[in-house]
């Protein structure tokens, strides 16, 4: 790969910015300056201001989404979650959370992976922590297991069976394998309840890192990426 393309991708800068970094000798290959069209190979050590650069085709992050951000790459309807990731500007959210919902969002530049994770054919389970207005009843567990009817796009949709765990009267966790618009809120509405607070804590085997405060993020580790790649 040409050195300017390498730098552009790894540092997530424009091509002209990459060329300027090379010209200004901020980019070294094996401790030497190179021209922008130098062909970088796997054995080369490329550094930026003394820090080694590592080329990866795809990047994967987990973000603890705060309320008030939208799962979009544009700002037409609010502030996008992508604005919270400072290192890269080529990421997009996998799936979505409502603007007022907190918790786990995966962001990547891997379109193929994103498609697999959001495809309804894969039945990837997602876990949500819920605080509700009314008491959670034991019979609600059976209602969710049986699949409740919710309203989606002005029509009635029967949800797939979902698991409901009761924490206390007003706190629960729900596990769903689909992602209809406002689904969790509509499911609680179907059992004559109302969601007051909603947070996603898990997607498949990816668990929200409890060390991440709201708005914080980190790259996925090797095990987490291996799980994503195992989804067929």
Active site members:
98
Tell me which DSSP letter residue 213 carries: P
For 176, which DSSP code?
Answer: E
Which residue has tokens 């706190």? 171
Burial (Cβ within 10 Å: 0-12, 13-18, ≥19) of residue 139: exposed
Cα–Cα dist 68/79, whole Å: 7
Partner residues linked to 93 by β-bridges? 107
Q: In whole angstroms, give the CA distance from residue 55 to residue 91.
A: 16
Distance CA 64, CA 202 (A): 11
CB half-sphere exposure, 60, CA atoms < 13 A? 20
The residues pairing with 52 across neighbouring beta strands, listed in sequence order, are 47
Q: Which residue has the tokens 């929200």?
A: 208
């Amino acid at each position: 790969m040409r050195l300017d393309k390498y730098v552009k991708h790894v540092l997530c800068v424009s091509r002209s910015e990459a060329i300027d970094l090379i010209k200004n000798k901020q980019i070294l290959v094996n401790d030497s300056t190179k021209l922008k069209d130098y062909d970088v190979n796997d054995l080369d050590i490329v550094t930026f201001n003394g820090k080694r650069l590592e080329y990866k085709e795809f990047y994967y992050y987990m973000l603890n989404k705060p309320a008030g951000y939208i799962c979009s790459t544009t700002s037409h309807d609010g502030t996008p979650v992508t604005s919270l990731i400072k290192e890269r500007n080529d990421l997009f959210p996998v799936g979505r959370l409502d603007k007022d919902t907190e918790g786990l969002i995966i962001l990547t530049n891997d379109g193929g992976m994103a498609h697999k994770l959001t495809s309804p054919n894969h039945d990837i389970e997602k876990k949500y922590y819920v605080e509700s207005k009314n008491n959670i009843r034991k019979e609600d567990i059976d209602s969710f297991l049986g699949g409740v009817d919710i309203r989606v796009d002005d029509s009635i949709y029967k949800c797939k069976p979902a698991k409901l765990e009761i924490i206390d009267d007003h706190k629960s966790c729900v596990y769903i394998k689909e992602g209809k618009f406002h689904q969790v809120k509509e499911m609680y509405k179907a059992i004559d309840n109302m969601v007051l607070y909603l947070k996603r804590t898990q997607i498949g085997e990816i668990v929200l890192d409890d060390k991440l405060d709201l708005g914080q993020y980190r790259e996925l580790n090797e095990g987490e990426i291996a799980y994503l790649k195992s989804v067929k």
